[in-house]
Amino acid sequence: MIRIYIDADACPVKDETYKVAARYQIKTYVVANQFQNIPIDTLIEMKVVSGNFDAADDWIEAQVTSRDIVITTDVLLANRCIKKLGRVLNPKGFEFTEDNIGSAVSNRELMQNLRHMGEMRGGPAPMDKKSRSNFLAKLDQIIQSLKRK
């Protein structure tokens, strides 16, 4: 059975994920440190985790299998889930894989160091229609791939 886990604290594509999951009848877990409003649907479950800063990440990693999809912007969580053979997608439609996660982690560390040194300000570009479209297309592609397994 395919499941979707949303690292929900700052996820801009929750609504899009709900719609795709409903179309395929996929159980979706919305995981966060505090309650968030979710649609009333038996296929969508809110999982509030408490504890340390990485409690949501820890919970997702503990659940994920090779039949699951994780939606996150967190490169370190992506790395952890890939090691468990989960499929990991960011909200802009980029899939983290074994082949690209190493450079993504390195880039994250570089950018973090540049921000700490004051060399860089700001964050990622805001979501736009093209990014949402890329996300939806890639999510559909991953689901189809998992269904064929």
Q: What is the pLDDT of residue 135?
A: 97
Q: What is the pLDDT of residue 9?
A: 83
Q: Which residues contact 72 (CB under 8 A, 6 or more apart)?
A: 6, 7, 11, 60, 78, 81, 88, 90
Using an 8 Å Cβ cutoff, are 61 and 11 in contact? no
CB atoms within 10 A of CB 72: 26
Q: What is the pLDDT of residue 22?
A: 97
Q: Which residues contact 112 (CB under 8 A, 6 or more apart)?
A: none
Dihedral over alpha carbons 115, 117, 118, 122 (to 10 degrees): 0
> Helix or strand or coil: residue 86?
coil
Q: What is the pLDDT of residue 109?
A: 63
**d(C-alpha 68, C-alpha 51), whole Å:** 24
Using an 8 Å Cβ cutoff, are 31 and 49 in contact? yes
Q: What is the pLDDT of residue 108?
A: 52
Q: What is the pLDDT of residue 82?
A: 96
**d(C-alpha 91, C-alpha 54), whole Å:** 19
pTM: 0.87
Q: Which residues contact 42 (CB under 8 A, 6 or more apart)?
A: none
Q: What is the pLDDT of residue 16?
A: 97
Mean pLDDT by 10 residues, the chain (149 residues): 94 97 98 94 96 90 97 93 96 92 64 62 78 97 95
| Secondary structure letter of residue 9 according to DSSP | G
* Class of the domain covering 3-148: alpha beta
Would you kindly state where each structural domain of the chain is located, as residue ranges? 3-148
